[in-house]
Amino acid sequence: MEKEAIIQVKDLTSEHGDNLILDNVSFDVFRKEILVIAGSSGCGKSTLLRHMVGLDIPVSGKILINGIDITSCDEAAFLSVLKKIGILFQSSALLGSMTIADNVALPILEYSGLPESFIQDIVRMKLCMVDLAGYEDYFPSELSGGMKKRAGLARALALNPEILFLDEPSAGLDPIVSAEIDELILHINKSIGTTIIIVTHELESIFHVAQRVVMLDKKTKGIIAEGTPEHLKNHSGIPFVRQFFNRTK
């Protein structure tokens, strides 16, 4: 059965000032898969993610999400897309003046129109999903780094998104907490069928969660390799790709 592309990136070119960051990048993301965007520092991973969620507009190219080109659509169409995606930023981006429950409730209040009592139930359910039951009244400053990541993930899941974007979800975490985040990602994908796009250079996480990897290259400004982590590690014909996945010089 042919896979269904839920996201299509077509001929995307991105610049920052006079610097070319990405040049003519094209790839698909298939429904219900976990795709990792990998590569060395400065290759454009986070820039690509920002384009895919509509935070930045590329110089040229298209990004279609469920058939809607978010680089050129009107505001109403763009808002319809936003309701179907969740984003976990590297810093978690929680509002420090609000409790964890209020942070998670924010997108629900903004977009759902549900009664407050329903929203409170949804918030408790989302926090339970990420093992933060009982922390509703805590503030972000009272949480550990791993707990902040999980709280940010609960907020990203608030509207039951079809697509989840995760920017360096394991960055700055110890190995045990990183493994817990990886297991949570796998659980969300398997239990709900959420399509997940992850930007990371953490090899352990890549091998644990990725079903497919798109690897960017700083020199060529584009995709240098694509495939499963195991294939790229053991069978890539490109020395740099094998070095990256085998952690060798």
Confidence of residue 242 (pLDDT cuts 50, 70, 90): very high
Confidence of residue 40 (pLDDT cuts 50, 70, 90): confident
Of residues 168 and 196, more confidence is placed in 196
- What tens digit of pLDDT does each residue of 68-113 get? 999 999 999 999 999 899 999 877 788 989 999 999 999 898 878 8
- What tens digit of pLDDT does each residue of 164-183 get? 999 999 877 888 989 999 99
Q: What is the mean pLDDT of the chain?
A: 92
Superfamily of domain 1-84+163-172+193-249: P-loop containing nucleotide triphosphate hydrolases (3.40.50.300)
Supply the pLDDT for residue 249.
75
What is the share, in percent, of the chain residues with pLDDT greater than 90? 75
**Count of Cβ atoms closer than 10 Å to residue 178 Cβ:** 20
Spell 183-213 as b/e; 16+ CB within 10 A means b. Answer: ebbeebbeeeebbbbbbbbbeebbbbbbebb
- What tens digit of pLDDT does each residue of 21-38 get? 999 999 999 999 999 999
CA distances, 228 to each of 31, 78, 94, 116, 210 (Å): 16, 32, 33, 44, 7
Supply the pLDDT for residue 72.
95
Mean of pLDDT values over 197-223: 95
- The model carries a pTM of 0.92
Supply the pLDDT for residue 166.
95
Query: Domain ranges in the chain?
Result: 1-84+163-172+193-249, 91-160
Q: Which residues contact 93 (CB under 8 A, 6 or more apart)?
A: 152
Confidence of residue 1 (pLDDT cuts 50, 70, 90): low
Following DSSP, what letter does each residue of the chain receive, concatenated? -PPPEEEEEEEEEEEETTEEEEEEEEEEEETT-EEEEE-STTSSHHHHHHHHTTSS--SEEEEEETTEETTT--HHHHHHHHTTEEEE-TT----TTS-HHHHHHHHHHHHT---HHHHHHHHHHHHHHTT-TT-TT--GGGS-HHHHHHHHHHHHTTT--SEEEEESTTTT--HHHHHHHHHHHHHHHHHH--EEEEE---HHHHHHH-SEEEEEETTTTEEEEEE-HHHHHHH-S-HHHHHHHHT--
Mean of pLDDT values over 221-240: 96
